[in-house]
Amino acid sequence: MIAQDTFPVDPWLVRETQLVLDLLGSSESVFALSNGHIGFRGNLDEGEPHGLPGTYLNSFHEERPLPYAEAGYGYPEVGQTVVNVTDGKLVRLFVDDEPFDVRYGTLTSHERVLDLRAGTLVRTAEWTSPAGKRIRVRSTRLVSFVQRACAAVEYVVEAVDQPIRVTLQSELVANAAMPEQSDDPRVAAVLSSPLQAVEGDSGRAGATLVHRTRVSGLQMAAGMENHVAAPGRVDVETHDAPDWARTTVVSSLDPGQELRLTKFVAYGWSALRSTPALRDQVAGALSGARFTGFEGMLAEQREYLEEFWDAADVEVEGDAEVQQAVRFALFHVLQAGARAEQRGIAAKGLTGPGYDGHTFWDTEAYVLPVLTYTAPQAAADALRWRARTVDPARQRATELGLRGAAFPWRTIRGQESSGYWPAGTAAFHVNADIAAAVERYRVATGSEDLETDGGLVVLVETARLWMSLGHHDARGGWHVAGVTGPDEYTAVVVDNVFTNLAAAQNLRVAADACARQPDLARSLGVDLEEQATWRDAAAAVVVPYDEDLRVHQQCEGFTRRPEWDFEAHREYPLLLHSPYFDLYRRQVVKQADLQMALFWFPDAFSAQDKARAVDYYERRTVRDSSLSAAVQAITAAEVGHLELAHDYVYEAATVDLRDLHHNTGDGLHMASLAGTWLALVHGFGGMRDTGGALRFDPHLPSGMSRLRFTIRWRQAKLCVDVRPDAVTYTVRDHGSSIDLRHGDEELTVHSGEPVTRPLTTLVPLLPRPVQPPGRAPHHRDLPS
């Protein structure tokens, strides 16, 4: 875990004031830069020491066999794994003849700063070489939001008190050696030397390398162009080999003098395009970067982010840590999706190889709700990616004996890559989650552009999937049997409440969309009878309820299962210490599941049932998933446990900044980052968007004096400014108005006419529930 003071609290910066080598893996993830297309882990410029070297291109992957001790029908045989591509970040420095390596010599100071408004990672260091030569280094790194194929590094070295000879090596390196990895199943499969050299080329101060993956047959090019500014004579030359290219810059500096290297890096990859086309694509991108110049790229970057923050910022008064964390979270969520452009948004974004670089339901259920309200174009792009993978999803459904499309539980390019069916194939709710994201985009933006461009296909094919998965019982009730809900410690069940309600919503939404798009629906073979069967099933959906305990059952029979002995199992995550057979059969919940249903389907539960459900499931949920805390924050807030909700917000917010799950080094937890926003906006903001309408019912915990957030709704921006006793709704666009509900009151808010209302009264029906021993939410260390 990372200590609370490692990244001092600052509203717009994440600053590391000294280098802790043990935390390098985590800090590389925290300081990762990405635009959704290119991802640079926050590795030190000189490459070593490192936690894990990492450079990624969205969806650029290798295939590997998935082995099984006992084979089974329908098991995916090919896995997809993200590849660590050619590293363009590297700048090595020699002072006289000694390499700048923080493990040698004396590091007087070392600071790294991620600037959330500038979109840069700035590193400053003062170092004395073992021979006593003192230098200052300042590097500024960016991955451009504006120029999607480009990144840049400015590297400045200054002689402090003696004349020195300085050598810089600006490199491209493919197939970097990777450290040994653990057995933890959440870690990526190791691929050693995944890239085969295709061609290389270099000029005086730049080079291009083209590589290809062995099995998946994807081709990628990486190019660099180096510019040097030096006070005196400077020699520049470049060499290339199959797996590396190196521009060497040599110069002398007197005390106070600086050598400045500006390195432009560009990437391209394709499954289809030729080697020359890729090579030229990279050259073109480099030309664009050179034309803009480093200062120009910095300015573009800041401007891009200004526009983003203007409509996305969340201000938290009274809790500086959460303030910092939610901006950090929004920044990384943006980085993951901004320019993904019809490729997936992975569970770790492009910050690390965890989960093999796969996209899960996290994207649609956690990340896209945030992007929909803050960067809707990125949300639409991610959903268009899903729509483009409908063919493999249809094939998968056919293979499984189902109709429609079965989207994969985990994938990079659309094919199911899950090697354990009870927690993969059976988790069919991913399909309803995708459908929900399509509908949410339509409702929030008021635009049908996605629906007519792939969205309807997704809705129709997932509806068909549900019809073949579900069945009516003798009394007409509609059930879904044999599926796994969000809680991965309970699998292959009958009538998981979340899945059933999400499936029903999927069916209704698909029918409504077909009614809006009759021609398109007809072209997909949907007739009125099919729509009627969807509406019938949705209306008859069964939601299991324990009449004795008066509590909803996460799934049929859940509340009658044996209890888990929490006292006897104190090592977490449980999945590394107990067999699935025992976890599955007992009342132990990995992550919000019934509570996810409370959040997504607020109108399906009475206030009393919500209160009892939160009480019941809080006591049995261990939060071995980083997806859980945010949803528990939201439901705790709704039933009036605001302080508990605050603790959950803190936990969700600091999963990565404090490495609560001990695996931030494999990449950031995008869902938990997005969850920080969800927890604040839906939890304390009380926002719900179910049924096409916008509702708020805000309440603040005692530790927050103000919560102010902006969302995009239809063509306008709505600012919600919550204080302990009142909320002000402001529409920020001239001539716009927004209909919303505050508590039970319907309001129309016009631009220029903010509306202030007192907060509603919120009295918890039950006392604050306790969590399993040792699993209370991670509490912030308050100053004593």
Residues lying near its own copies in the complex (CB under 8 A): 66-76, 79, 183, 185, 399-402, 418-426, 471, 473-474, 479, 481-483, 491-492, 494, 548, 556-557, 560-562, 568-569, 575-582, 584-586
**Rounded Cα–Cα distance for residues 393 and 411 (Å):** 11
Nearer to its own copies (CB atom), residue 111 or residue 546: 546
Who contacts 365 (Cβ-Cβ below 8 Å, separation ≥6)? 433, 436, 437, 596, 627, 671
What minimum distance in Å lies between the beta carbon of 577 and its own copies?
A: 6
Residue indicated by tokens 């796969």? 358
Q: Which residues face 122 on adjacent strands?
A: 113, 140
The β-bridge partners of 290 are: none
Question: CA angle 6-11-14, nearest 5°?
Answer: 35
Instruction: Give the nearest distance from C-beta 270 to its own copies in angstroms.
Output: 28
* Closer residue to its own copies in complex, CB, 234/481: 481
Both tokens of 372, joined, read 């929909």
Task: Give Cβ neighbours of residue 567 (< 8 Å, ≥ 6 apart).
Answer: 773
CB 712 within 8 A of CB 374: yes
| Cβ at position 527, least distance to its own copies in Å | 22
Closest contact distance (angstroms) between CB of 597 and its own copies is 20
Vertex 580: Cα angle to 553 and 69 (nearest 5): 140
Between 204 and 471, CB nearer to its own copies: 471
Closest distance to its own copies from the beta carbon of 649 (Å) = 31
Least separation, in Å, of the C-beta of 494 and its own copies?
6
State the Cα torsion 516-518-522-524 to the nearest 10°.
-20
C-beta neighbour count of 767 within 10 angstroms:
8
In the complex with its own copies, which residue's Cβ is closer, 214 or 561? Answer: 561
Which CB sits closer to its own copies, 183 or 547?
183
End-to-end CA distance of the chain: 21
Output the smallest distance, CB 772 to its own copies, in A. 16
- Which residue lies nearer to its own copies by CB, 422 or 703? 422
Q: What is the b/e burial string over 397-431, where b = at least 16 CB atoms within 10 angstroms of the residue's CB? A: beebebbbbbbbbbbbbbbbbbbbbbbbbbbbbbb
Q: Which residues of 337-346 are buried (b: 16+ CB within 10 A; e: fewer)?
A: bbbbbbbbbb
CA torsion, ordered 471, 473, 478, 480, to nearest 10 deg:
-50
Question: Of all helices (H) and strands (E), which one includes residue 675?
Answer: helix 670-678
Shortest Å, Cβ 495 to its own copies: 10
Of the candidates 747, 676, 667, 640, the one whose C-alpha atom is nearest the C-alpha of residue 369 is: 676
Question: Hey, is 195 helix, strand or coil?
Answer: strand
Q: Single out the catalytic residue among 62, 488, 618, 651.
A: 488
Q: Smaller CB distance to its own copies: residue 291 or 581?
A: 581
**192 or 606: CB nearest its own copies:** 192
CB nearer its own copies, residue 76 or residue 376: 76
Cβ-contact 375, 417 below 8 angstroms? no
DSSP assignments along 580-626, one per residue: HHHHHHSB-BSS-SHHHHHHH-GGGS-HHHHHHHHHHHHTTB---ST
Q: Which is nearer to its own copies, 67 or 130 (CB)?
A: 67
**In the sheet that 244-253 helps form, which strands lie side by side, from edge to edge?**
98-99, 91-95, 164-173, 244-253, 234-241
Q: How far is the CB of 419 from its own copies (least distance, A)?
A: 2
In the complex, the smallest distance separating the C-beta of residue 606 from its own copies, rounded to whole angstroms, is: 24
- Residue with smaller CB distance to its own copies, 55 or 81: 81
- At its nearest, how many Å lie between its own copies and the CB of residue 121? 34
Which residues are CB-neighbours of 237 under 8 A, at least 6 positions away? 204, 247, 248
Q: Report residue 743 CA to chain centroid gap.
A: 31
C-alpha to C-alpha distance for 667 and 129, rounded to whole angstroms: 32
The residue among 26 and 559 lying less far from its own copies, judged by its C-beta, is 559
β-sheet bridge partners, residue 134: 128
User: Maximum CA pair distance of the chain?
Assistant: 89
The question of whether 488 is a catalytic residue gets the answer yes
**What is the C-alpha separation between 695 and 707, in angstroms, rounded?**
16
Angle at alpha carbon of residue 87, lines to 86 and 90, rounded to 5°: 150
CB of 703 to its own copies, least distance (A): 38
DSSP letter assigned to residue 684: I
Report the alpha-carbon distance of residue 495 to residue 210 in Å, rounded. 51
Amino acid at 625: S
Amino acid at 356: D
Catalytic residues: 488
